[in-house]
Structure 1
Amino acid sequence: MVNLTRASRELFSRTPDERFNSFDSLLAHCQARRERSSEHWQLSQQLCIEHTPEGLRMQLEDAETPNLSLSDWSFTQLCKLCGVQKDTVNKLTSETASRVFRDTMPHSREPLQVYAAADTALAVHSSTYSRLFDAEVLQAVREAAPDFTPPPTGMGGATGLYAGEQDMFAFGIDPDGWVEIGGENFAPGFFVWNSEVGRRSVGVQTFWYQEICQNHIVWDAIEVVELKRRHIGNVQDALDDVRLAIAQLVKKRDERRDSFASGIRQAMATPFGEDAEEVHKLLAKQGVSSRIAEQVVQLAGERTPYTVFGVVDALTRIAGRYENAGDRLVMDQKAASLLSLAA
């Protein structure tokens, strides 16, 4: 088992305006951003970074909004494109910085891709970059797992659902999906992420977990599966990755639910002992004290024969009375081992 910290890192790096309280609100935000965005193709030698009283602006040819402000990410990309240090350019006046970009801008036969929303340039990429919109990824998630919800609210009101200028991240769980695996309880969950501006890959990670803390650390995860793609080539195939990974998680959840339900039905129909005396003897063989066995007989009722489910249910209820977590764990383990008698 492993502890997953990806969602915890997101929790501590997101500002309040990047948090969303529901999957629907996150999806609506990403859809609205997509609708107001646009892509422009421009030769680098024709890309002008001009000095204005408001700071640096990007001048585009043949665009409805030819004068664009720069986001922190697009400014970072321009510095890399021109081979200049971002920290150095930040120390210059905007007038001097515009001359630096003009003098260092490379010439190429391949046009650059400028991604903009409203009047801001969000990203500048080469022609090899393939964009995948956050809304497309989230729609694929919705199709595959419509009944998953965000995790419990974390420290500082963190929601597990985030979208900022540079990327998106969503954390989903099935709060009703608990099943028993190897005598312990697990529930299914997933992370999904993307960046429309190339800040990170597009990816999905599915898992089964035992606990989520206030810091959104996922504790004791098993069957962890991760798929991710860079934004090159046919990145649209990543949508199939997301659908398939989450669909397989849902399928396994349903199979385990059915198996668990079948096991419970079988335990209800399987005799454990003909009478109280036999139940005492069989529990003693399993290491259960005479005092606990007496309580089991009382809680399991007077109907005979006593069933495996009745005995297990009684042990589980007795375990719930213990204040010490270690004592509860020992009793729960005994109950789980008895349940296997109905297999």
Structure 2
Amino acid sequence: MTNLMAASTELFHRSPDERFDSLESLAAHVKHEQAVSREHWEQHVEPESIDGETLGLRLEDGSLQYLNDWSFGQLCRHCRLPKDTINRLSPATATQVVRETLPRSGRKPLQIYSVGHQAHAIHGTSYTRLYNAELLDAVRDSACGFTPPPVGFNGATGLYAGEQDMFCFLIDDDGWIDIRGEQFAPGFFVWNSEVGRRSVGLTTFWFQAVCQNHIVWDTTDVVEFTRKHTANVHESLAVVRRMIGDLARRRDERRDGFAKMVSQAMDARVGDTDEATTLLAKHGFAGKLAQQAVELAELRDSMNVFGLVDALTRIAGKLEFAGDRLELDTKAAGLLALAA
């Protein structure tokens, strides 16, 4: 088993105005944001100094769009300019530099995503926007019984939305199962960005505890899905509905099936260290990794299939890269089938 830190990371960097206490209030917010937003497809935009204090963009219809930090950075990247350097220039000088470096000849139109008179994002033609409201509708359709976790120590709720992205942490507090005194419940993270800061994604899991820092402790059966904001990004809505729906539908059967599988894994002795090492090697865990897992299981006096799976997931939790951790966790969880 491993610990998931994504919700804890969100807890520590979200300001109070980005927190929401219910799915309903978050849904109302993102629907309003979608309603007042607009996509402008512009063949020609003109950088302009606004009141001599800041850099903006004059669109083809004559309207003026202010820039926030994110859209300013995107504009700098589009012009191949270092953002930090442009930030040190006066507004008038920065405007002139951007005007002279903005690609114009034969270029494809720019996509300017604005809320009111502020540009929140600047993209090329390859970017396809998935609105937070669309994703949240898919979540609400399929996540019956899932609620936010207990409020974090600083008032964090697990439900967040700001100018750059949205993140939701939900658990099923009615889905707890008991396995020899240990409790497991289902939960998931889902996220998206309308401005290109991150992909759309979903992580589902079973967990044993959530602390006030929103660290999710001792998770198993971790499955992650992500998709970039390209032409097929809206297909991710069907995947999100299916993954959350599967998690919800499996709640009752997991009460019995999951508990039975883990109990069988706890009963399935693997013999001595040589036999355990041979078993792991047979299923693709060889060399130093198998040796570490066997030694850890032996140290914890759990020389059974579940003990080996637990040892492998603890090792995975110490790997540097999330992809490597997920791959090892998923592979280790497959060993539980040996006890079935």
CA distance in 1, matches of 2:180, 2:216: 19
Instruction: Choose from 76, 80, 96 the match for 1:79.
Output: 76
Residues 160 and 168 in structure 2, CA contact (< 8 A), matched pair in contact too: yes
Q: How does 1:1-343 map to 2 (within 5 A)?
A: 1-43=1-43, 46-53=44-51, 54-62=53-61, 66-107=63-104, 108-181=106-179, 184-257=182-255
Residues 145 and 174 in structure 2, CA contact (< 8 A), matched pair in contact too: no
Matched to 1:8, the amino acid is: S
CA distance in 1, matches of 2:66, 2:134: 26
Instruction: Give CA deviations for 1:10-51 in whole Å, capped at 9, x if unaligned.
Output: 0011111100011110111000000000001112xx211101
Instruction: Give CA deviations for 1:280-311 in whole Å, capped at 9, x if unaligned.
Output: xxxxxxxxxxxxxxxxxxxxxxxxxxxxxxxx
Query: Structure 1: 5+ residue runs without aligned partners?
Result: 263-343
Query: Structure 2: 5+ residue runs without aligned partners?
Result: 261-340
When the two structures are aligned, how many residues end up with a matched partner? 258
SS of 1:155's partner is: coil
Q: In 2 relative to 1, CA 175–123 (structure 1 residues): closer, same or farther, beyond 3 Å?
A: same
Residues 212 and 218 in structure 1, CA contact (< 8 A), matched pair in contact too: yes
Q: In 2 relative to 1, CA 101–71 (structure 1 residues): closer, same or farther, beyond 3 Å?
A: same
**Where do 4+ consecutive residues of structure 1 move more than 2 Å?**
180-184, 256-262
* TM-score, normalised relative to structure 1: 0.73
CA distance in 1, matches of 2:162, 2:95: 27
CA distance in 2, matches of 1:172, 1:180: 20
SS of 1:239's partner is: helix
Residues 45 and 58 in structure 2, CA contact (< 8 A), matched pair in contact too: yes
Matched to 1:132, the amino acid is: L
SS of 2:154's partner is: helix
Q: In 2 relative to 1, CA 207–260 (structure 1 residues): closer, same or farther, beyond 3 Å?
A: closer
CA distance in 2, matches of 1:206, 1:260: 15
Cα RMSD (Å): 1.7
Instruction: Give CA deviations for 1:100-130 in whole Å, capped at 9, x if unaligned.
Output: 1001001243111110011100000010001
CA distance in 2, matches of 1:231, 1:67: 27
Q: In 2 relative to 1, CA 130–182 (structure 1 residues): closer, same or farther, beyond 3 Å?
A: farther
Instruction: Give CA deviations for 1:195-227 in whole Å, capped at 9, x if unaligned.
Output: 000000000000000000011000000000000
Residues 180 and 260 in structure 1, CA contact (< 8 A), matched pair in contact too: no
Matched to 1:254, the amino acid is: D
Residue 254 of structure 1: CA displacement? 2.3
CA distance in 2, matches of 1:74, 1:29: 21
Residue 180 of structure 1: CA displacement? 2.9
Match in the other structure for 1:291: none
Match in the other structure for 1:282: none
Matched to 1:123, the amino acid is: A
* TM-score, normalised relative to structure 2: 0.73
Matched to 1:228, the amino acid is: T
Q: In 2 relative to 1, CA 261–6 (structure 1 residues): closer, same or farther, beyond 3 Å?
A: closer
SS of 1:157's partner is: coil
CA distance in 2, matches of 1:76, 1:15: 21
Instruction: Give CA deviations for 1:257-296 in whole Å, capped at 9, x if unaligned.
Output: 466999xxxxxxxxxxxxxxxxxxxxxxxxxxxxxxxxxx
Q: In 2 relative to 1, CA 87–28 (structure 1 residues): closer, same or farther, beyond 3 Å?
A: same
Instruction: Give CA deviations for 1:213-251 in whole Å, capped at 9, x if unaligned.
Output: 011000000000000000012100010111111111111
Residues 58 and 65 in structure 2, CA contact (< 8 A), matched pair in contact too: yes
CA distance in 2, matches of 1:220, 1:257: 17
Match in the other structure for 1:295: none
CA distance in 1, matches of 2:24, 2:64: 33
Identity of aligned residues (%): 56
Match in the other structure for 2:296: none
Residue 256 of structure 1: CA displacement? 2.3
Residue 184 of structure 1: CA displacement? 2.8
